[in-house]
Amino acid sequence: MKGVLIGAERSGSGKTTITTGIARALSRQGLRVAPFKCGPDYIDSRHLARAAGNPVENLDSVLLGDATLGQIFARSCQGCDMALVEGVMGLFDGIEPRRFGGSSYDVAVQLGLPVVAVLNAASCSYTIAALLRGLQSLCRSTPLEGVIINQLASSNHERLIRSALEQHTDIPLLGCVPRQAQPLAPTRHLGIATSAEMDESYYEACADLVEQHIDLTALAAIDLTIPPASRCEETMPERSRICAVARDQAFSFYYEANLREIERRGYALRFFSPLAGETVPDADFIYIGGGYPELYAEALSTRQELHQWLRRHSAAGRPLLAECGGMMLLTQGIVDGEGRHHPMTGIFDARCHMTGKRQALGYVQIQEPAALTGLVGHEFRYSTLEDVNEPYVFSLEKVTNGARSHDGFSKGKTLAGYVHFHFLSQPSLLDWLLER
């Protein structure tokens, strides 16, 4: 099978635009692309899914064990022509430096993915050759098969870089992408705009850019070094219960595997829009993921029927899981960047305050409660809690530096917190919530 991981020297090098363009361009050629995103990402992954026309899976070697990572990869590769994986941050950026655990490179090694590097050439020329040689020297366990140069200022800039690469490296140059006068996608505090905000012209523009400047034939010919393992078809149980999943422009951050795991436990998914005030009165389980509720706080504050439904569901002792943005909906309210308070459902006695700067980023491990000790999750937020009159349910330790913190509120079978968890991690948060 063909496949490649698109990595970069750092965030902001353009790998999302280029990987999105590759996915759509190859799909336009009739190839069936299996898209993946390294790390705990929700925004880039949805763009890849739309571009490829196939569900996207997250590949995270911190949240998931080796066997689970391989199973997810093999399952999604079935029936496809090419595995296309977008890295996260810089190629070797992870949680430890010895073997670069938790990095895009770590995922590439485990799954047999050759690497193609996207390098940002803004404000440099010949030094790109040194940067590429450095990346190559550390790719000891999987090959660096090619490089794509991005952000070229002119034809002369391209000439200088080509000559340096030819003289000082043996890595094939697969493409030279010129600087764009305007970004193809707008950005905000958590990354680029979500796929729900973009129309098809964005994906077509990314594909046009890639087709004009990248050798897709050479890229699509790269073989995986380890073929995906064969797998048995999983039989889904009868879905006799309903899980209502919030999905609209305010709430859209979900791992594909989490939704599939809910189905595997006998729930039929029914999507609803909190922004539109929709409810699912017969839901047995409600799942509200992260997103951008702060951008729509005024509208969400007026959805009284939604608020009442969530309060009734929680009070009845039925499972309700709310992650990050979902948790914000369950507090007393959201204070926006201008100091305005927008009332929310009030299931938990606390308020969320948007701060204008990042408050947390990284992997955390649960220390308490004992049943979930060792479970790793991820947090990324620009808000903080204030006026908290609830006991916290989780005692957390940051994976990279051991810093301690607390998170999460619980009432009956309602659980809400900033941290996002993968349902295939062990211990299982889903087991803990549904069986308590």
The residues assigned a catalytic role are 324
Q: Tell me the β-bridge partners of 132.
A: none
DSSP 8-state symbol, 229: P
Q: Are 191 and 43 in contact (CB under 8 A)?
A: yes
Q: What backbone phi and psi angles, to 5 degrees, belong to 126? A: -60, -30
| Alpha carbon 239 to its chain's center | 27
The secondary element (H helix, E strand) that includes residue 19 is helix 15-28
> Rg for the chain (alpha carbons), in Å?
22
Q: Are 324 and 420 in contact (CB under 8 A)?
A: yes
Q: Are 136 and 164 in contact (CB under 8 A)?
A: no
Provide CB contacts within 8 A for 8, sequence distance 6+.
14, 15, 87, 90, 91, 117, 118, 119, 120
Alpha-carbon distance of 188 to 295, in angstroms, equals 11
Alpha-carbon distance of 15 to 426, in angstroms, equals 31
User: In residues, how long is the chain?
Assistant: 436
User: What is the crossing angle of helices 200-213 and 15-28, to 10°?
Assistant: 90
Q: Are 32 and 54 in contact (CB under 8 A)?
A: yes
Calculate the alpha carbon distances from 322 to 140, 299, 314 in Å: 41, 19, 11
Quick one: CA dihedral 212, 217, 218, 219, positive or negative? positive
Residue in this structure with the two tokens 């890295």, named with its chain if needed: 87
- Where do runs of H (alpha helix) occur along 57-215? 66-77, 104-111, 127-138, 155-168, 200-213
Strands 351-354, 376-381: pairing kind: unpaired
Angle at 416 between CA 244 and CA 435, to 5 degrees: 70
Provide CB contacts within 8 A for 306, sequence distance 6+.
274, 277, 278, 279, 300, 345
- Where do runs of H (alpha helix) occur along 193-293? 200-213, 216-219, 256-264
Strands 2-8, 241-246: pairing kind: unpaired
